[in-house]
Amino acid sequence: MRGAAPEDDELVPDPSTQRKNVLLLGRWAGPGALEGHFVDRIGVVDTMFSCVNMGDIAEERLHLRPDCGERFEILRRTVPGFKDLGVAAKQMIETDGCRIVIACGMPGAAALDVACAHEASTGILLAQMLTSTHVLEVFVHMSEASDDAELDALCRNRVGDHADNAYKLMYAPEELRQRAGMGVRQGGRDRGPVAA
Amino acid sequence: MRGAAPEDDELVPDPSTQRKNVLLLGRWAGPGALEGHFVDRIGVVDTMFSCVNMGDIAEERLHLRPDCGERFEILRRTVPGFKDLGVAAKQMIETDGCRIVIACGMPGAAALDVACAHEASTGILLAQMLTSTHVLEVFVHMSEASDDAELDALCRNRVGDHADNAYKLMYAPEELRQRAGMGVRQGGRDRGPVAA
Amino acid sequence: MRGAAPEDDELVPDPSTQRKNVLLLGRWAGPGALEGHFVDRIGVVDTMFSCVNMGDIAEERLHLRPDCGERFEILRRTVPGFKDLGVAAKQMIETDGCRIVIACGMPGAAALDVACAHEASTGILLAQMLTSTHVLEVFVHMSEASDDAELDALCRNRVGDHADNAYKLMYAPEELRQRAGMGVRQGGRDRGPVAA
Amino acid sequence: MRGAAPEDDELVPDPSTQRKNVLLLGRWAGPGALEGHFVDRIGVVDTMFSCVNMGDIAEERLHLRPDCGERFEILRRTVPGFKDLGVAAKQMIETDGCRIVIACGMPGAAALDVACAHEASTGILLAQMLTSTHVLEVFVHMSEASDDAELDALCRNRVGDHADNAYKLMYAPEELRQRAGMGVRQGGRDRGPVAA
Amino acid sequence: MRGAAPEDDELVPDPSTQRKNVLLLGRWAGPGALEGHFVDRIGVVDTMFSCVNMGDIAEERLHLRPDCGERFEILRRTVPGFKDLGVAAKQMIETDGCRIVIACGMPGAAALDVACAHEASTGILLAQMLTSTHVLEVFVHMSEASDDAELDALCRNRVGDHADNAYKLMYAPEELRQRAGMGVRQGGRDRGPVAA
């Protein structure tokens, strides 16, 4: 999917549901809507500023789920920079009916970028608190990697892990609870629990 | 309870009330609901990031109260990281009817973690201010301990103390007031009041 | 009053009105309520963390006013730490009808305490902005004093001065205005106005 | 007016309208109210902490406008410190009907004062954002001047300039627009636009 | 347009629509309103503090769009400083019906300016979060350029790029999405995507 983002593909990225989805009773309905089958929406929003296509990584990971397209579909948006993520996530929840959003950004390494990252995080925080909906902040700082390959790999791991988390927050909260206190890290090796 | 978090146990962790609780008139009713006996809910939310199962410590401490299960029950959730605590606590108050929440997190020791901890705290603060409900922030910084054993002990003490505080805020505010200005510390030795 | 905080004393601390106050038409009515005499409420909230009983100092100062008990009464609460002050103040305004609140805390001297104090201040700020009601933040930093006696004296002066300010904001705003630009300091010697 | 702030003068400082103003249809009406002439309110709030009477400077500047008293009148309040400015401004907008407020404060030079100034600014910001009304923050930092005379002069210039800005935001926005990008500074020499 | 900002030009800057626009059914209608053709509004707000007329640059760039005047028109405001941008943007959205706003400011190079810039950004953030509408923050820091010519050029590039972004957020979101992860920079050379 990387590099190909045709406009008519935007709202219903899964080909199998592309022509059949309709908005029904305020929820976005898949092929089986008339038989009472509704489809949830998971939002993915990323930036042009990032030098890795983080949104595509999130989409790809979510597409691995067998119930993608049936149980949930993906709504994708791209904004200029990470300060635009918060309001975009809020719109995707309020207007587009997303039940959870994955917000991907890549703060630069300059001193000014640190303050900006804090403001971007505050926007994502406010989007959550004003909608009572989870928005997973997935930031990969350029300063975390020493070259392009490492940056790309770090993005793939962290964004992928958070896409899994979004799925579990929606459909498998018990999997999160079973890992409480396990020292889990997104995008790196787990720290693990304290030695007994 | 550590390590065992079966899904059907999630909402009604106290076995004695497990099958009988029903939602009645907007409050969660225990075994005696039809006789006018209602059960409050205390929320406990923690993270997979933490390397100590802080949520279990809070639950264990609350279970020591003789009125656990009768007067109140515990609702438990686990989220990926501490930035997810604020919205989770808000959902537990607004949607699940918790009258107070204990939010447990463990900030890392890196420089980036300090800014993240501030954002996580702001989320917990907003959950309180937007619901007018106490959410006790229980953070144990990894930098506060020099090894695993110390970290574990610090968590046990601080989380336990805050679980007691949650109970007292609900049912025994006079016990808090009697200790006003006493230099009380959660998770360490009390500083004590100024010398007279 | 220090050290004595019986539970039945909590809402109506002034003995003369203790048994007679009733809630009437949404305001808390004193002895003369049925003759149209209503009593305002001033909230005082402090912490167990502080090593000086700051709340008692505020109460004592307010009791010196001849109209205490007739014109206003005092509602007192104590919370664990200063991060709990904001939501407590909001509850005292929204639920308990306080028209102004004095929120007392004592930030520690460690580096982590500085960030925490900022978050506590933000909570007190939000309580004000979301209720359009004054909440006077009275913080005495442990780093401001070199020993217990100095800390105690500083608390007595600053808390007392702010208790006076709370009274004046309610009943004598012209006294504040007459001191505009006078370089007034709470808890220390006034700086005074610029030399003419 | 400096030093003289009689109570009965507070709401209607312009003598010519002092006895005739009435509240009509939710707006504060001047002498011509019954003939359909309404008077706007501009709020001025300052602090006792400041060592210059900044509020009086703002009032004096606004009184120089020929339409003061006819088109607008001034509502003045003084609060203890700059952290109290935000909620006071919000009350002046919501309760007293001010259409714009000038909020004057003087942060001290100590390290703690810097954090406090940020919190005070956040309060003024929230007052604006929650009421959709301009509140002009006029802060003069004690560290900006080397002696009393310089501090006094800086206050006179900056407060006066902002009083003019408040008037223009209300009645002459085109004057602001004509100076877009002109490098205008309040309280000092203008920087001017970039060289062409 | 630089330097010429007549008052009667303010609301309908495009001459071709100047006399014909009317407010119809809550939207601002252009020449074809009675035939069902409505005109969107894009807001542009800048400051007198800036030493480059950033608002004019934004307006000029938007005027290059062939559908300017027909599909959208521009509403322009100028405020004193960048702390005034947030509430101005909120008013332009709530009261004037702008569907997106470009907010331009130029933080100074002094230490105090850094904290002020953070507060200004927070205001712009809150304007977005409280209206669920994009407000593009376009800040050019004086410290980014070494002389006037460089500062002017940087403003032209960055403001222009963001004016394009505003247009695309409204009318061509697919163009943003096609550049996801491309390392795009406003006002400078693009960083580009990671090497494959």
Q: What is the mean pLDDT of residues D62-68?
A: 97
Q: What is the mean pLDDT of residues B155-174?
A: 98
Question: E141 in contact with A at a CB cutoff of 8 Å?
Answer: yes
Q: Is the pLDDT of residue D195 over 70?
A: yes
Position A164 confidence tier, pLDDT thresholds 50, 70, 90: very high
Q: What is the mean pLDDT of residues B159-169?
A: 98
Q: A88 vs A5, which has greater pLDDT?
A: A88
Instruction: Provide the strand spans (E) within C25-130.
Output: 27-29, 38-47, 72-79, 100-105
Q: B99 vs D29, which has greater pLDDT?
A: B99
**Cα–Cα nearest to E166, from E69, E76, E66, E58:** E58
**pLDDT by residue (tens digit) across A132-158?**
999 999 999 999 999 999 999 999 999
* pLDDT for res E182: 97
* pLDDT for res A35: 58
* pLDDT for res E32: 52
Give the N- to C-terminal CA distance of chain A in Å, as an integer: 45
Tell me the shortest Cα–Cα distance from B36 to chain A, in angstroms: 31
Q: Is the pLDDT of residue B16 over 80?
A: no
* pLDDT for res A21: 44
Q: Is the pLDDT of residue E187 over 50?
A: yes
Dihedral sign for Cα D143, D145, D147, D148, please: negative
Nearest CA in chain D to C162: D80
* Tokens at A3, concatenated: 């590099």
In the CATH scheme, what is the code of domain E23-170?
A: 3.40.50.960
User: What is the CA C42 to chain-centroid distance, rounded?
Assistant: 7
* pLDDT for res D32: 52
Q: Is the pLDDT of residue E18 over 60?
A: no
Position A15 confidence tier, pLDDT thresholds 50, 70, 90: very low
Tell me the shortest Cα–Cα distance from D140 to chain C, in angstroms: 12
Check D174 against E51: CB less than 8 A apart: no
**Which partners does chain B have (≥3 C-beta pairs < 8 Å)?**
A, C
Q: What is the mean pLDDT of residues A9-27?
A: 41
Q: Is the pLDDT of residue A182 over 80?
A: yes
Position A112 confidence tier, pLDDT thresholds 50, 70, 90: confident
Give the N- to C-terminal CA distance of chain E in Å, as an integer: 45
Q: What is the mean pLDDT of residues B119-139?
A: 98
Give residue limits of the domains in chain B. 23-170
**How many other C-beta atoms are found inside a 10 Å radius of the C-beta of residue E196?**
6
CA distance A94 to E128: 13
Position D117 confidence tier, pLDDT thresholds 50, 70, 90: very high
Percent of chain D whose predicted confidence (pLDDT) is above 70: 81
CA distance D19 to D3: 22
Check B80 against A129: CB less than 8 A apart: no
Q: B113 vs C150, which has greater pLDDT?
A: C150
Check A192 against B54: CB less than 8 A apart: no
Bridging pattern class, strands E22-24 and E27-29: antiparallel
Angle, nearest 10°, between helix axes A111-131 and B111-131? Answer: 30
* pLDDT for res B32: 52
Question: C99 in contact with D at a CB cutoff of 8 Å?
Answer: no
Nearest CA in chain B to A123: B119
Provide, as residue numbers in chain C, all residues whose Cβ is less than 8 Å from the Cβ of B195.
148-149
Q: What is the mean pLDDT of residues E105-109?
A: 94
Position B34 confidence tier, pLDDT thresholds 50, 70, 90: low
Choose among C114, C122, C176: nearest Cβ to D79. Answer: C176
Position D37 confidence tier, pLDDT thresholds 50, 70, 90: low
Check D176 against E6: CB less than 8 A apart: no
Q: What is the mean pLDDT of residues B22-50?
A: 70
List Cβ neighbours of C117 (8 Å cut-off, separation of 6 or more): C82, C105, C107, C139, C141, D115
Position C167 confidence tier, pLDDT thresholds 50, 70, 90: very high
Q: B115 vs D78, which has greater pLDDT?
A: D78
**pLDDT by residue (tens digit) across C4-53?**
333 433 443 344 433 334 444 444 445 555 555 679 999 999 999 999 99
User: What is the CA B26 to chain-centroid distance, rounded?
Assistant: 22
CA distance A193 to B56: 13
Q: Is the pLDDT of residue E92 over 80?
A: yes
Which of 146-165 (E) contact A at CB < 8 A?
162, 165
Q: Is the pLDDT of residue A13 over 60?
A: no
Q: Is the pLDDT of residue B111 over 70?
A: yes
Q: Is the pLDDT of residue E173 over 50?
A: yes
| Bridge partner residues of D138 (DSSP) | D104
* pLDDT for res B33: 52
Check B121 against C152: CB less than 8 A apart: no
Question: C174 in contact with D at a CB cutoff of 8 Å?
Answer: yes
Q: E168 vs E7, which has greater pLDDT?
A: E168
Choose among D128, D141, D194: nearest Cβ to E152. Answer: D194
Nearest CA in chain E to A92: E132
Check C184 against D79: CB less than 8 A apart: no
Question: D61 in contact with C at a CB cutoff of 8 Å?
Answer: no
Q: Which of A28-42, C138-152, D115-129, E147-161 has the lowest mean pLDDT?
A: A28-42
Q: Is the pLDDT of residue A79 over 50?
A: yes
CA distance A52 to E181: 4
Question: A60 in contact with E at a CB cutoff of 8 Å?
Answer: no
* pLDDT for res E159: 98
Which of 107-136 (D) contact E at CB < 8 A?
114, 117-118, 121-122, 125-126, 128-129, 132-136
Q: A182 vs C113, which has greater pLDDT?
A: A182
* pLDDT for res B1: 36
> Are B71 and B40 contacting, i.e. CB atoms less than 8 angstroms apart?
yes
Question: B7 in contact with A at a CB cutoff of 8 Å?
Answer: yes
CA distance A141 to A54: 13
* pLDDT for res B2: 38
> Mutate which of C100, C175, C176, C189 to disrupt the D interface (most D C-beta within 10 Å)?
C176
Question: B59 in contact with A at a CB cutoff of 8 Å?
Answer: no
* pLDDT for res D28: 47
Nearest CA in chain E to D183: E51
Q: Which of A142-146, B126-130, C99-103, E25-29 has the lowest mean pLDDT?
A: E25-29
